[in-house]
Structure 1
């Protein structure tokens, strides 16, 4: 079973915190459909970076009231409670994507380079599920088989191997 691959835009500051290990959960006001354990998230860092930074494996997706969620994520959020509450202001439901195995590319793939290979590339406002041809663009640019990171593809793997 192949994992779903979701491309999401994340504010550059938070995207970098993820790959530095200082943020272990991503917050959303809208739950991405068809996202579950073992699926993959391709992280696009917003301006001024404007680049793909790497891949995350989804551990779980939860939904609950913002107050309950904060009590669970406060040590993993990478943000303070004030920022969290501001983000979820007037929201009855909060969604959190817990992830594991953050894998950063050897070097970020800039929007310019992306558009050389993937002519109609546009950073998503919310999220975008990648099609096979788009996954192949990423493989050719990074030289990594990103699907190999998911437990949905393989039973157990200790590292992401370069594409040969």
Structure 2
């Protein structure tokens, strides 16, 4: 049961399966982004959704902190926690002057709950896998039902 974080705001991100697996096994504790989420704060929840062909929820965790930096500084400080190579990092931030990261903690594997895209769309009718962020709170239709599955 994940009850200590049940009443917090929640953001969902889409990632490729290989990165979701690295998050679950602890090899990746920092999620790189080109922008930060606006409606959540450290201590709130982050749900990991795996993109096609898997299309299902993989993990839920707590946002420990946000990092705002430059690509060079972020790479120097945090590359070992990103689960990617130096070349992949450089490619991701190519032509960017700013770099952002979400530090993750309390990572819980929820693959076994088998919450697939079809189920998400049934529970949360307007849900679409996001390019950046999808925000949940209790006013989002269906989120209370999704929380019942996630947290029990």
TM bin, normalised by shorter chain, reads 0.7 to 0.9
Structure 1 residue runs without a partner (length 5+)? 145-161
Matching residue of 1:15: 20
Alignment length, in residue pairs?
A: 143
> How far did residue 108 of structure 1 move?
3.1
TM-score (norm 1): 0.80
> How far did residue 129 of structure 1 move?
1.1
> How far did residue 135 of structure 1 move?
2.9
* SS, match of residue 32 in structure 1: coil
TM-score (norm 2): 0.86
> How many angstroms apart in 2 are the aligned matches of 1:36 and 1:83?
27
**What is the correspondence of 1:93-108 to structure 2 with a 5 Å cutoff?**
93-105=98-110, 106-108=112-114
Q: Once structures 1 and 2 are overlaid, which stretch shifts more, 87-96 or 15-24?
A: 15-24
> How many angstroms apart in 1 are the aligned matches of 2:44 and 2:64?
8
Matching residue of 2:55: 50
> How many angstroms apart in 1 are the aligned matches of 2:27 and 2:142?
29
Matching residue of 2:70: 65
> How many angstroms apart in 2 are the aligned matches of 1:25 and 1:111?
25
Matching residue of 2:131: 125
Matching residue of 1:80: 85
Please tell me whether the aligned partners of residues 49 and 56 of structure 2 are also in contact (alpha carbons under 8 angstroms).
yes
Q: Does 1:115 align with 2:133?
A: no
Coordinate RMSD, CA, aligned:
1.5
Q: Once structures 1 and 2 are overlaid, which stretch shifts more, 89-98 or 131-140?
A: 131-140
